Amino acid sequence: MRLATHVLGVEFQNPVLLAAGTCGFGMELVDVLDLEALGGFVTKSITLERRMGNPAPRVAEFDAGMMNSVGLANPGLERVRDEKLPWIAANVHRAKVLVSVAGHTVHEYYQLIEGLDPSDGFVGFEVNLSCPNDARRDSVPFALDPDAVTEIVSGCRARTERPISAKLAPNDPMLGETVRRAEDAGADAITLVNTLPGLLLDTDSGKARLGQGAGGVSGPALRPAGIRAVQEARSATRLPLLGVGGILAPEDAVAYGRAGANLVQMGTATFAAPRAATDLIAGLERWGRRRGVAAWGDLCAGNDGEVR
Ligand SMILES: Cc1cc2nc3c(=O)[nH]c(=O)nc-3n(C[C@H](O)[C@H](O)[C@H](O)COP(=O)(O)O)c2cc1C
């Protein structure tokens, strides 16, 4: 199966990316993974200031996945611009990089785009509107506030010519409307989904298993919510969709493709098996050969080969 796919104005050598927050800035993985074999990766979400993150423990496993409340721990705009992006520009060529940004306020998103846009080494931005542990206005995550989606995406759009993907939430009862808002505001793609709010309790003590209390569910438990969200988004837009949530096996990626995803991202699976993403790429090739599917792009519902 031909895996190369043209999305966001560039050729991805295959549709498999590492998801934001699960691969740092790439350099953390060079000893365990051939980054250049990937379709690409999304950086950890960058905030204006350096953030230390939430109290430990920040991750907890359960039978169907993982919970995290990392709290967007990251080195902040300046160090990313001065250290991380130059490393990416010098070392990552075939894999395509999206830089993820997350503001505390609407204005912070604009400052992040302005501060990062002049740097080299990346194709576009993923605007994280949906972190369940952060990024909210009046206690509502930006992704669930349609006016905030419009304001943030249109303001980012005005500040960069690079492609922007808006990362939305799985628990959005008006997802189609939110997708349309993002598109009307100038998004070039939609990433679905971020983690789903959840809570794990220790049964003896009754205390939360994460230091912060609640967190975000990822891994296999999230997969049906992710696939549904992609399908719903596909019926609302013809923009490219980046599907993420619970992908382990080639069949999971194919299911996202069938629902309408043009690219897929993998996160939690890589914690247990650091080479899970390169295994997925090989597995997709095998899957296509066995099924006689000529190209990844043939799977994706609703695109008619007109992916922008
Ligand atoms: C430890 C951890 C940290 C994450 N950090 C971010 C982040 O900084 N920005 C973001 O947009 N998503 C973040 N995510 C969400 C992932 O990018 C992805 O949307 C989610 O985990 C679902 O995919 P998965 O089931 O393959 O992990 C994080 C997820 C995990 C598990």
In a domain, 131, yes or no: yes
| 72 CB near ligand 1 (under 6 Å) | yes
Q: Are 298 and 305 in contact (CB under 8 A)?
A: no
Instruction: Determine which residue's CA is closest to atom 22 belonging to ligand 1.
Output: 245
Q: Which of 23, 131, 156, 300 is catalytic?
A: 131
pLDDT at residue 299 in the model: 84
In a domain, 207, yes or no: no
Q: 42-79 pLDDT, tens per residue? A: 999 999 999 998 999 999 999 999 999 988 899 999 99
> What is the whole-number distance in angstroms between the Cα of residue 194 and the centre of ligand 1?
6
In a domain, 122, yes or no: yes
In a domain, 116, yes or no: yes
pLDDT of 307 strictly over 80: no
The C-alpha atoms of residue 303 and residue 240 are separated, in whole angstroms, by: 8
Q: 150-170 pLDDT, tens per residue? A: 999 999 999 999 999 999 999
In a domain, 17, yes or no: yes
Q: Are 197 and 216 in contact (CB under 8 A)?
A: yes
Mean pLDDT along residues 276-294: 96
Q: Residue 193 is encoded by which pair of tokens?
A: 């989904």
Measured from the Cα of 128, ligand 1's closest atom is 11
Q: Are 116 and 46 in contact (CB under 8 A)?
A: yes
What is the residue range of 32's domain? 5-54+71-197+219-298
In a domain, 202, yes or no: no
In a domain, 304, yes or no: no
Mean pLDDT along residues 274-302: 92
Q: 89-147 pLDDT, tens per residue? A: 999 999 999 999 999 999 999 999 999 999 999 999 999 999 876 656 667 899 999 99
| 276 CB near ligand 1 (under 6 Å) | no
**Pairing state of beta strands 263-266 and 16-18?**
parallel
Which one of 268, 270, 271, 279 would you pick to mutate in the ligand 1 pocket, going by the greatest count of ligand atoms within 8 A of its CB? 268
The answer for residues whose C-beta is within 8 angstroms of residue 13's C-beta and 6 or more apart is: 3, 4, 39, 94, 95
The mean predicted confidence, pLDDT, of the chain is 94
Number of domains in the chain: 1
Which one of 134, 164, 195 would you pick to mutate in the ligand 1 pocket, going by the greatest count of ligand atoms within 8 A of its CB? 195
Q: What is the CATH classification number for the domain harbouring 192?
A: 3.20.20.70
The answer for residues whose C-beta is within 8 angstroms of residue 293's C-beta and 6 or more apart is: 1, 287, 299
DSSP-H helix ranges across the chain: 77-79, 85-91, 106-116, 146-157, 175-184, 223-236, 250-259, 269-272, 276-291
Q: Are 148 and 128 in contact (CB under 8 A)?
A: no
Which amino acid would we find at residue 127? V
pLDDT at residue 304 in the model: 47
The answer for residues whose C-beta is within 8 angstroms of residue 298's C-beta and 6 or more apart is: none
Q: Are 194 and 170 in contact (CB under 8 A)?
A: yes
pLDDT of 305 strictly over 50: no
pLDDT at residue 300 in the model: 74
pLDDT of 280 strictly over 70: yes
The C-alpha atoms of residue 162 and residue 86 are separated, in whole angstroms, by: 18
Measured from the Cα of 45, ligand 1's closest atom is 8
| 244 CB near ligand 1 (under 6 Å) | yes
| Catalytic residue status for 23 | no
Reported pTM? 0.96
The answer for residues whose C-beta is within 8 angstroms of residue 231's C-beta and 6 or more apart is: 259, 260, 301
| 270 CB near ligand 1 (under 6 Å) | no
| Phi, psi (deg, nearest 5) at residue 206 | 75, 5
Instruction: Determine which residue's CA is closest to atom 2 belonging to ligand 1.
Output: 21
Mean pLDDT along residues 227-236: 98
In a domain, 208, yes or no: no
To 5 degrees, how large is the angle CA 121–CA 6–CA 188? 70
